[in-house]
Amino acid sequence: MTEKPLISCVLPTYNRAAKLTNAVESVLSQTYSNFEILIVDDQSVDNTSEIVDGLKEKDSRIIYLFNPVKGANNARNFGIENAKGKYIAFLDDDDIWMESKLEKQIESILNLDTKYGVVYCTFARKKVNGKVLRQHPSRFSRIKNGDILNRLLKRNFITTSTLLVKAEAFEKCGKFNPKYKSFQDWELLTRIACDYYFYYVDEVLVNVYESTDSITLNKKGRVSTKYMHLKQFMYLYETRHRLLSHRYADLGFTLVKLKRPGFAKKFLQRSLKYNPLNIESLLLLLLLKFRKAR
């Protein structure tokens, strides 16, 4: 690889000084060395700034930024605005990169058509104790390179820490939406997928750790955000009835698990409106009627 463009790694952090060093060290250990690390402090009240000062003494590629407008997405956006790289990668403060992550992704995108704007990879979701819960995307998923808009409209399967994105894509498509408290990667990537192709590196290059304070574990919050995503991109679903049916069915299924049968029924009925042969929606509606009749 003759060309070695600068990659900006945006690493937002909030009150996780104890975990931050491991995340930063996983970037410093990369086999690809032309990068900068923008640690964006989201107004932490612990000793995060002191930890970063110590890390900066070891490596001049580390840059400390204090986020002026609190919020994880605002922190990522502040990092993007201050990034100097032609490509931008992201790492959450409790996740870890494998040492070849950047090298394999930058090699891929440099050999692709200019229409490709994003490279992502498989990640392993782990508990804090290191136990692997599952891998995403799973080996049974038929992941397609190129135009993946329809796949993203169906479900979210990419997480922020796996991304390598052309900086120009943020100028064209916009940055992270501060209104999203979860699924912010899904919302962003849906917009980018309208203009760019995606490339998938079929290898676990990121470990994503579940923590008890993670907002993604809040099921009620996930439902409301999924519905917000659906409403935002309804103009894309209007010509994709089977995908729209799937999304309504997914919301209905989640609401059944949350023991909200009334709301679940409404979404399942909408699902069947756009695809009368949606078996999942039919079965769930029958189940709800059976439970009500008992």
CA distances 169 to 36, 109, 162, 185, 191, Å, are 19, 14, 16, 14, 10
CATH topology of domain 7-214: Spore Coat Polysaccharide Biosynthesis Protein SpsA; Chain A (3.90.550)
The model carries a pTM of 0.92
CA 192, CA 243: separation in Å to the nearest integer? 19
At residue 214, the pLDDT reads 53
Please state the φ and ψ torsions of residue 125, each to the nearest 5 degrees: -90, 125
Q: Where are the alpha helices (DSSP H) in 119-173?
A: 149-154, 167-173
CA 8, CA 37: separation in Å to the nearest integer? 6
At residue 142, the pLDDT reads 63
pLDDT tens, N- to C-terminus, the chain (294 residues): 678 999 999 999 999 999 999 999 999 999 999 999 999 999 999 999 999 999 999 999 999 999 999 999 999 999 999 999 999 999 999 999 999 999 999 999 999 999 999 999 999 998 777 677 788 787 656 677 999 999 999 999 999 999 999 999 999 999 999 999 999 999 999 999 999 999 999 999 999 988 665 544 577 888 999 999 999 999 999 999 999 999 999 999 999 999 999 999 999 999 999 999 999 999 999 988 777 655
Which neighbouring-strand residues pair with 219? none
Domain ranges of the chain: 7-214, 216-293
CA 49, CA 176: separation in Å to the nearest integer? 24
Do domains 7-214 and 216-293 share one topology? The answer is no
CA 180 to chain centroid, in Å, comes to: 12
CA 245, CA 185: separation in Å to the nearest integer? 22
Q: C-alpha angle with apex 242: 239 to 246, nearest 5 degrees? A: 125
Long-range residue pairs from 111-116, CB within 8 A, at least 24 positions apart, any chain: 112/197, 112/199, 113/197, 115/196, 115/197, 116/196, 116/197, 116/198, 116/199
Please state the φ and ψ torsions of residue 12, each to the nearest 5 degrees: -75, 145
Query: What pLDDT, in 10s, does the model give residues 142-160?
Result: 677 999 999 999 999 999 9
CA 104, CA 38: separation in Å to the nearest integer? 21
Please say whether the structural domain 216-293 has been given the CATH code 3.40.50: no
